[in-house]
Structure 1
Amino acid sequence: MKFKFICLFTLYLLGSITYAQNPRVFVLTDIENEPDDAMSFVRFLTYANHFDIEGIVATTSCWQRNKTAEWRLHEIAEAYGKVRNNLEIHEKGFPTEAYIHSIIKKGLPVFGKEGLGEGKGSEGSDWLLTSMLKNDPRPLYIQAWGGTNVLAQALWKLKKTEPESTIKQVIAKLRVYTISDQDDTGPWIRNTFPALFYIVSPGFEENGGGQYHYATWSGISGDVFHGRFMGADTTIVRNKYLDEHVRKNHGALGEKYPQVEYLMEGDSPSFLGLINNGLNAPDHPNYGGWGGRYELYIPPFKKYMYEPETRPMWTDTQDEVYSELTKSFHTSNHATIWRWRTAFQNDFFARMDWCVAKKYSEANHPPLVTLKHANEITVKSGSEVVLSGDATDPDNNTLSYNWMFYKEVGSLNANQFSLQNPKNKEVRFLAPNVSETKTMHFILEVKDNGTPALTRYQRVIVNVIPK
């Protein structure tokens, strides 16, 4: 794809992996099932320069079984076209409106496995298969905001038409993130392709009962859900706040952002973890980031799942997070997302400001954070560890620093570990004693004092080895 964001997307390290280009992204959406897909699509387009978008396919789901709504995607893309040049003032690399229209396709207007098998192809599944077979070494991140029968059909045709060697190569490059199981093809996909990288809170929601309020992705806004209070402040995900920062006086794209009816943007976690913010690690869901955190295991069967799972997948795990609202700690899978909520909401609000700010100086932009050492270092038990970073701000705002030990990530069990003077640019500590190599994750969080305040990060992985 020709829309490479060269200025911002320089090489950066995360663990032992180097990300040099935008991630390839393919979206499946049951838009018009309820308002949240349209909300997510508005946010998604404000980050369109962070991705190489290869396809956007309108699909069905359990709540929208016999129609697709590609017309709504085109409508929002048209609004994006009216603000795209403004967005370019603030960051380069936004694809044209014409390009977005050209990659919008539709799946069959049938539910789940009714769209799987011989003669069940669609322009959406064919377009997806073309992306899968593309001669591109980068992973293809497939986001299912609704049902997955378009993905299932593409995989079915892949299996039927390609040699085993090609199938193996294609599966190795796919990264699937589904917002729960919104049709019955998810278990078929996971069982038929056991090596497929798959993030999901497995289970379905029908007739008012199910598992959506248990799923990790609902942590984007659903902290008071079915009577369960999760601890995070929901002010900035409510309609009043969204009116002020998105819908009103923010241009044509903001006007296409619907009112929240159930929860805000339940689909956005699928791409929040791909944004180049220095924290996210797309191929390592267990590292945690704006899209949540997940562990690889076989989840136990629950009554709201279609069938027992037979293979490991990336699924729900927990973080313990301090809530300023309740002045206490909360432990949940939702917290793996809501712990970052202020940062990712402010980031979106700034981009909505870009939609109408005709000069660079009229809006805020995120700081650039750097380290004075590698993103992964190895130290011996008992030795002094020095973590050091710096940052610049394009708007000359004042910056504040915070080093965080991400205790849930890594292999070292160190619940009692704490950093001294974490607000400094540089922190020092003695490496814990270990009998075998253990890892620790540290996040340098830098925030500016602009309006809204914006945050960027760097992650450091510390490998602690015995003396």
Structure 2
Amino acid sequence: MKPKSILMPALLLLVLIFSAGVSAQTTEKQRLIVLTDIEADPDDSQTLVRLLLYSNQIDIEGLIATTSVHQKNRVAPETIRKIITGYGKVQPNLLKHEPGYPSAPDLLSLVKQGLPVYGMEGVGKGKDSEGSEWIIKILEREDKRPVWVSVWGGPNTLAQALWKIKETRNEKDAKRLIEKIRVYTISDQDDSGVWMRKSFPDLYYIVSPGSYANATWSAINRVVKGISNEEISNEWIAMNIQQDHGPLGALYPDVAYGMEGDTPSWLMLIPNGLNNPGHPEWGGWGGRYELYQPDPPSAPVNPRFTGGVPVEPETRPIWTNVSDKYSPYIPNKFGKAVRRDTAVFTGNHVTLWRWREDFQNDFAARIDWCTMTYEEANHPPVPKVNGPEEFTVKSGEIFKLDADGTYDPDGDNLNFLWFQYPEAGTFKTPAGFGFLAENLYNVHTITAPQVDAPRTIHFILKVTDKGTPVLSRYKRVIVTVNPK
């Protein structure tokens, strides 16, 4: 079922309020609380290693150890502390590359724990925990920014915080606190997720209900036929992350089930010029999602593929899976530097893995920063758009896309690529560049297409350096086309 024409008024109002005034680029640091069933699977530890390398770009405000269907009676905050301690050994070197990395003691002060019980057994009167109380404390801070809750396991600690807010606050105050929350859960790993979506119908919630295999997040470690997949191989991980990358890389465990299944829950918060957390429907490193009420499963879902958590019909719109149609750009040996591949990929997993090589290289570069000097390491380019990043034209008018002023802090040679992201806008037909090559930094004389109503076109500028590893950053230009 695609988005309804009439959504719940309060939820729709929340989306509109949060979107108002949000430009194509978002540079404001995002606030983040993590709920993790760390030790249920090595991938939580893997994800935490990566997250700490971006802790200067995201305001981490809580790291809460929880249970899940895979670890029902235990929480493991000690593992969070162990990884933070490893981070503390490399934090001084990270600061040589970018400012703002928090100290290990500051991060250790954010480690909390939920109750060591499963799901709804931990929700209700007398079920408060250090973790649930911390969530409420964070929500009460005088800070207008939303609070992202990234759920890597079971969300019952958040459910308890919401239960207490509802029970102890007046309606206006409860609404104010709940409106701050932005949830992204890695599927439903206990029975409190469905309860929250039913009990708090205005709660902002990104989730792929049902089978893990169908979830968008699973694309991070999915082997895709027709592309390289090298960047998720065990050999690549060992060479680029684990070995000879200092004490933090040494704490990155081997894959047991799937590499970093939890990482997509916060990748969209990285300010890379493509991501815009206020617009999951625009797409980014964490995938692309739209707000609608999905149809219930047409057949019973095998519990093996849900961890055993029952799959219930959704009672209201949620942010969930949508599809992209994608043909990668690939290098040319001669002539034009890049060309479109003839292969075409379609599906919700495409919305995430299409960026996978970029964010894996970014991870590899940042873990290099743990041991390398600034001169030895690579750093991302800085794209610039010479002109507005959002503007309006009429059908038939000429406009241009110009990346003049883009630079690389290491002095590396740069590759430019402009492309349309049809699914992100309301103009779905390809709006080509005519005879112009899309790898020019200045793509000029583009003719606005014919439309019968206002339509938006999303153009993405991808700038990639030729350092080691190659690093990419982006700009998003949104063109509104009005009828002539």
**Aligned 8 A contact 2:25 2:273 in 1:** no
Residue aligning to 1:282: 277
The 3-state SS of whatever aligns with 2:256 is coil
Deviation at 1:435, TM superposition (A): 1.3
For the residues of structure 2 that align with 1:181 and 1:440, how far apart are their CA atoms? 34
Match status 1:463 vs 2:480: yes
CA spacing shift, 1:371–1:287, aligned 2, 3 Å? same
Q: Deviations over 1:73-130 (max 9, x none)?
A: 0000000000001100000000000011110011001110000000011000100111
Match status 1:291 vs 2:286: yes
Letter in 2 for 1:370: K
Instruction: Decide which of 182, 193, 196 is 1:189's aligned counterpart.
Output: 196
Residue aligning to 1:443: 460
- Matched length: 442
For the residues of structure 2 that align with 1:425 and 1:278, how far apart are their CA atoms? 16
Residue aligning to 1:217: 217
Residue aligning to 2:248: 253
Match status 1:34 vs 2:50: no
Residue aligning to 2:231: 236
Deviation at 1:134, TM superposition (A): 1.4
RMSD: 1.7
The 3-state SS of whatever aligns with 1:315 is strand
Residue aligning to 1:267: 262
Residue aligning to 1:311: 316
For the residues of structure 1 that align with 2:61 and 2:254, how far apart are their CA atoms? 28
Letter in 2 for 1:367: P
Letter in 1 for 2:457: M
Letter in 2 for 1:309: E
For the residues of structure 2 that align with 1:231 and 1:296, how far apart are their CA atoms? 30
| Identical-pair percentage | 48
Letter in 2 for 1:278: G
Which segment drifts farther, 135-144 or 20-29?
A: 20-29
Residue aligning to 1:422: 438
For the residues of structure 2 that align with 1:446 and 1:270, how far apart are their CA atoms? 25
The 3-state SS of whatever aligns with 1:93 is coil
**Aligned 8 A contact 1:272 1:291 in 2:** yes
Instruction: Decide which of 378, 385, 406 is 2:421's aligned counterpart.
Output: 406
Residue aligning to 2:132: 125
The 3-state SS of whatever aligns with 1:445 is strand
The 3-state SS of whatever aligns with 1:310 is coil
Unaligned runs of 5+ in 1: 1-12, 204-210, 224-228
Deviation at 1:327, TM superposition (A): 5.0
**Aligned 8 A contact 2:43 2:259 in 1:** yes
Deviation at 1:16, TM superposition (A): 3.3
**Aligned 8 A contact 1:232 1:323 in 2:** no
Deviation at 1:407, TM superposition (A): 1.2
Letter in 1 for 2:102: P
CA spacing shift, 1:231–1:295, aligned 2, 3 Å? farther
For the residues of structure 2 that align with 1:14 and 1:237, how far apart are their CA atoms? 37
Instruction: Decide which of 365, 373, 386 is 2:387's aligned counterpart.
Output: 373
For the residues of structure 2 that align with 1:250 and 1:378, how far apart are their CA atoms? 48
Q: Deviations over 1:392-418 (max 9, x none)?
A: 111000011000100111111214745
Match status 1:24 vs 2:6: no
Instruction: Decide which of 150, 154, 160 is 2:161's aligned counterpart.
Output: 154
Letter in 1 for 2:262: D
For the residues of structure 1 that align with 2:329 and 2:117, how far apart are their CA atoms? 46
Letter in 2 for 1:238: S
For the residues of structure 2 that align with 1:423 and 1:43, how far apart are their CA atoms? 31
CA spacing shift, 1:458–1:251, aligned 2, 3 Å? same
Q: When the two structures are superposed, what TM-score results if normalisation uses the length of structure 2?
A: 0.89
Letter in 2 for 1:445: K
Letter in 2 for 1:334: H
Q: When the two structures are superposed, what TM-score results if normalisation uses the length of structure 1?
A: 0.92
Q: Deviations over 1:159-193 (max 9, x none)?
A: 11111111222222211110000000111111111
**Aligned 8 A contact 2:25 2:476 in 1:** no
The 3-state SS of whatever aligns with 1:49 is coil
For the residues of structure 1 that align with 2:168 and 2:227, how far apart are their CA atoms? 49
Instruction: Decide which of 140, 150, 172 is 1:165's aligned counterpart.
Output: 172
Letter in 1 for 2:458: H
The 3-state SS of whatever aligns with 2:412 is coil
CA spacing shift, 1:160–1:38, aligned 2, 3 Å? same
Instruction: Decide which of 100, 107, 110 is 1:103's aligned counterpart.
Output: 110
**Aligned 8 A contact 1:382 1:431 in 2:** yes
For the residues of structure 2 that align with 1:329 and 1:377, how far apart are their CA atoms? 31
For the residues of structure 2 that align with 1:140 and 1:179, how far apart are their CA atoms? 17
Residue aligning to 1:345: 360
Instruction: Decide which of 39, 43, 47 is 2:50's aligned counterpart.
Output: 43
Letter in 1 for 2:319: W
Residue aligning to 2:98: 91
Deviation at 1:324, TM superposition (A): 7.2
CA spacing shift, 1:299–1:442, aligned 2, 3 Å? same
**Aligned 8 A contact 1:23 1:140 in 2:** yes
**Aligned 8 A contact 1:14 1:375 in 2:** no
Letter in 2 for 1:275: I
Q: Deviations over 1:211-252 (max 9, x none)?
A: 1111000111213xxxxx554422111111111011100000
For the residues of structure 2 that align with 1:134 and 1:87, how far apart are their CA atoms? 29
The 3-state SS of whatever aligns with 1:82 is helix
**Aligned 8 A contact 2:420 2:431 in 1:** no
Letter in 2 for 1:364: N
Letter in 1 for 2:470: A
Deviation at 1:383, TM superposition (A): 0.3
